[in-house]
């Protein structure tokens, strides 16, 4: 049930270079694939702090990685709040961090989690099921303008306005409760199926990003994520969405700059100095072989930095 094929596994490991005795953070433990590779490469005594917002993911990864015993510490938390977790477990800075953003295949495939238009279930989409906002409350409670913005900005859905209008009209007579209800409604608003993908693909992706405030989480981490690394420590991030990749690219560029003053400033007044070295001038992308074995990998972009 918890099968998830890790994306860019070898490439991420080559960049992180885990070593025995090191301390690492897997901020998106998920199925535990990257975590397992880090634990294996840092044997016999490297430690991994594995975070996930999803309690089911943590439980499954804990089972899979059982053999590593106390070398794996897990916590249900967002990577945006990793500083608090480090304080709690008494760690200061670490040797490496990996974030493999988005959702796992098994989350998508589990009907009761409500992520997919393919498997009928409640409109949920929460990674952390302790949170109150879910897709049902967003779809039935957000204004038509807000829904338009979500579908347009997070899903790049060209018919965002039309779909939001259809939802607003439909929910006047009865609430939209299930993934099937929403998928049918979007299909109706867009006028039928496409050959390459289901017409509700972008709307579902957009709602998932909004429900889980995925860009806010990433922005919070990227505000000063470099400070979690000891000198020589490395951070690798795999993004699947262009908005996420842009945030990562811009943060890494800023962190690597020697000065943040406007170009015309004669004397530096910003007090900034370079925090990292870029390890990937361009993003690393999956090979054709990986994409044909795992089509979910096709939009992945991996970027990495090393703390100075």
Ligand X SMILES: C[S@@+](CC[C@H](N)C(=O)[O-])C[C@H]1O[C@@H](n2cnc3c(N)ncnc32)[C@H](O)[C@@H]1O
Pull the structure tokens for residue 44: 């016999």
Q: At its nearest, how many Å lie between ligand X and the CB of residue 160?
A: 24
- Measured CA to CA in angstroms, residue 272 lies from 254, 260, 263 at distances of 10, 6, 14
Q: Give one word for 232, left, alpha or beta, with left for phi > 0 and alpha for psi -120 to 50.
A: left
- Rank residues 182 and 237 by Cβ distance to ligand X and give the closer one: 237
104 contacts 29 by C-beta, under 8 angstroms = no
What does the binding site for ligand X look like in residue numbers (CB under 6 A)? 4, 6, 27-28, 30-34, 51-54, 57, 78-80, 100, 102-104, 127, 217
Q: At its nearest, how many Å lie between ligand X and the CB of residue 186?
A: 24
- Rank residues 17 and 296 by Cβ distance to ligand X and give the closer one: 296
- Rank residues 175 and 283 by Cβ distance to ligand X and give the closer one: 283
Q: At its nearest, how many Å lie between ligand X and the CB of residue 106?
A: 9
- Rank residues 98 and 185 by Cβ distance to ligand X and give the closer one: 98
* 3-state SS string for 150-193: HHHHHHCCCCHHHHHHHHHHHHHHCCCCEHHHHHHHHHHHHCCC
Q: At its nearest, how many Å lie between ligand X and the CB of residue 91?
A: 17
296 vs 37: CA distance, rounded Å: 20
- Rank residues 176 and 218 by Cβ distance to ligand X and give the closer one: 218
Q: At its nearest, how many Å lie between ligand X and the CB of residue 52?
A: 4
What's the Rg (C-alpha) of the chain? Answer: 21
98 contacts 236 by C-beta, under 8 angstroms = yes
């Amino acid at each position: 049930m918890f099968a998830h094929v890790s994306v860019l596994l070898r490439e991420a490991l080559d960049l992180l270079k885990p070593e025995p005795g090191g301390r690492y953070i897997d901020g998106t433990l998920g199925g535990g694939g990257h975590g397992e590779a880090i634990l294996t490469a840092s044997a016999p005594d490297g430690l991994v702090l594995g975070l996930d917002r999803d309690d089911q993911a943590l439980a499954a990864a804990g089972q899979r990685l059982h053999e590593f015993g106390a070398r794996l510490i897990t916590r249900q938390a967002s990577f945006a709040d990793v500083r608090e977790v480090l304080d709690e477990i008494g760690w200061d800075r670490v040797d490496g961090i990996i974030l493999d953003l988005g959702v796992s295949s098994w989350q998508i495939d589990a009907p009761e989690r409500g992520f997919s238009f393919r498997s009928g279930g409640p409109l949920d989409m929460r990674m952390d099921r302790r949170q109150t906002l879910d897709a049902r409350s967003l779809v039935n409670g957000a204004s038509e303008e807000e829904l338009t913005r979500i579908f347009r900005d997070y899903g790049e859905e060209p018919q965002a306005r039309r779909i939001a209008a259809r939802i607003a009209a439909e929910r006047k007579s009865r609430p939209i409760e299930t993934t099937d209800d929403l998928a049918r409604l979007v299909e109706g608003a867009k006028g039928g199926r496409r050959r390459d993908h289901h017409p509700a693909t972008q709307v579902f992706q957009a709602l998932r990003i909004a429900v889980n405030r995925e860009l806010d989480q990433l922005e919070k981490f990227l505000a000063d994520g470099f400070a979690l690394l000891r000198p020589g420590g490395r951070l690798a991030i795999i993004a699947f969405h262009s908005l996420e990749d842009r945030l990562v690219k811009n943060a890494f560029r800023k962190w690597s700059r020697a000065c943040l003053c406007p170009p015309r400033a004669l004397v530096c007044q910003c007090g900034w100095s370079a925090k990292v070295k870029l390890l990937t001038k361009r993003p690393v992308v999956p090979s054709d072989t990986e994409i044909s074995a795992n089509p979910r990998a096709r939009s992945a972009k991996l970027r990495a930095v090393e703390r100075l």
